[in-house]
Amino acid sequence: MKTSRRDLWGDADDLERAGRLAEAEERWREIVRVEPSGESLARLGRVYLWCGAVEDGERLLREAMARFPDDSSLDEWAPALVCLGAVLDTLEDPQSARRCYERAIVLEPEEPHGRPQVRRSGPRSPESAGDLASLSPLLLPFG
């Protein structure tokens, strides 16, 4: 079993890239148990979202942001915020979604993370309300 931080994190990244999300989820859970941080919680939350566990994913992303608001080592903040914004947008909470997108832009102004989503964030048709299948490709791992 891999025990160093680099091995655990590298293994989790490799599993995500390979699309082996159930195994990636296990690895991120192990990392959160051993070394809870904003990034590890956010990464586990994103895997939950990718697997369709929206409530758990949203809860973990919010927990990561609440527990570690100033985590300067967190490279995942902007992508996590965009991911959460996409979920909130789909669940018909465009104001909260827009705040997530705008915060992503503030955190990483040189990256396009939230820019297109800010422009299109808003009311959706009643037919698409809550349609998790219509979530942005930003929720998909490496796609």
**pLDDT tens, position by position, 50-98:** 887 888 988 888 888 788 877 655 566 777 778 778 878 877 888 888 8
Which residue in this structure is represented by tokens 């959460």?
84
Q: What is the rounded CA–CA span in Å between residue 81 and residue 104?
A: 6
Q: Which domains does the chain have, with CATH numbers?
A: 5-139 (1.25.40.10)
User: Are the CB atoms for 121 and 97 separated by under 8 Å?
Assistant: yes
Q: What is the rounded CA–CA span in Å between residue 81 and residue 85?
A: 6
pTM of the model: 0.64
Beta strand spans in 38-81 (E): none
Helices (H) and strands (E) in the chain, counts: 7, 0
Q: What is the pLDDT of residue 14?
A: 94
Give tens-digit pLDDT for 20-41.
999 999 999 999 999 888 888 8
Q: What are phi and psi of 108, to 5 degrees?
A: -135, 75
Give tens-digit pLDDT for 121-143.
544 444 444 444 444 444 444 33
